């Protein structure tokens, strides 16, 4: 049985916080080294994402994918039927990964350059890289794992703090899809 990625992230963060207390960030050479480490890990992540985009576009899997996207928590909206292709779904997921990565880099830039925090540079050199290689798209398109079991599309949305996401998981079972089609909620093909 594998350890939950959120638990390993917590262990890494706590461990790296202890390690970063012993690193002399006042030394300009050490600070430049940690900055280079942060930049290199982000370049590696960008390279992986570009490679994934090329693989997704090369496969151009036009298999139809139907699922019911649950309404946001606390919303009175009905669950929405989504009809798309595997290519479109994977491209949408990759765009979300890019957005998340760029937000992290932006926040880190503000924390480091404006507020002069240096300790998070070390932690943010490891956690996003680990997260990138644990992602479903990487498992399927980079490592060649088949899209079955937990890797079957649509994927569960990543939970927020301690696995408590703001939305339920998408449903791809026949009963949910037929129920959403009868209710008339969606069904428009997304491109």
| Rounded Cα distance, 83 and 172, in Å | 11
| Rounded Cα distance, 81 and 188, in Å | 8
Q: In what order do the strands lie in the sheet with 80-85?
A: 64-69, 80-85, 186-189
What pLDDT, on the 0 to 100 scale, is given for residue 1? 58
- Whether residue 67 contacts residue 173, with contact meaning beta carbons closer than 8 Å, is answered with no
| Rounded Cα distance, 83 and 66, in Å | 5
Other Cβ atoms within 10 Å of 56 Cβ, number: 21
| Rounded Cα distance, 163 and 157, in Å | 10
Which residue ranges in the chain fall short of pLDDT 70?
Answer: 1, 158-168, 184-191
| Rounded Cα distance, 121 and 144, in Å | 31
What pLDDT, on the 0 to 100 scale, is given for residue 179? 75
What pLDDT, on the 0 to 100 scale, is given for residue 188? 54
- Please write down the long-range contacts of 105-112, taking CB distance under 8 Å and 24 or more positions apart: 105/42, 108/38
Query: pTM of this prediction?
Result: 0.84
Helices (H), 71-126: 86-109, 119-123
CA atoms within 13 A of residue 134's CA, in its CB half-sphere: 14
CA atoms within 13 A of residue 123's CA, in its CB half-sphere: 22
SS3 content of the chain, % helix, strand, coil (to 5): 60, 10, 30
């Amino acid at each position: 049985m594998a350890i939950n990625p959120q638990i390993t992230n917590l262990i890494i963060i706590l461990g790296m916080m202890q390690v970063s207390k012993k690193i002399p960030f006042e030394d300009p050479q050490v600070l430049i080294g940690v900055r280079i480490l942060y930049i290199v890990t982000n370049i590696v992540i960008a390279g992986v994402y570009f490679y994934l985009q090329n693989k997704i576009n090369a496969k151009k899997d036009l298999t139809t994918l139907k699922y019911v996207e649950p309404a946001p928590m606390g919303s009175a909206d009905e669950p929405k039927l989504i009809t798309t292709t595997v290519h479109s779904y994977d491209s949408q997921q990759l765009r979300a990964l890019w957005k998340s990565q760029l937000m992290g880099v932006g926040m880190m830039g503000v924390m480091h350059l404006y507020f002069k925090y240096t300790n998070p540079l070390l932690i943010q050199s490891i956690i996003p890289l680990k997260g990138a290689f644990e992602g479903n798209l990487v498992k399927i398109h980079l490592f060649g794992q088949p899209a079955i079991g937990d890797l079957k599309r649509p994927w569960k949305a990543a939970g927020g703090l301690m696995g408590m996401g703001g939305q339920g998981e998408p449903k791809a079972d026949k009963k949910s899809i037929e129920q959403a089609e009868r209710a008339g909620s969606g069904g428009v093909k997304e491109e």
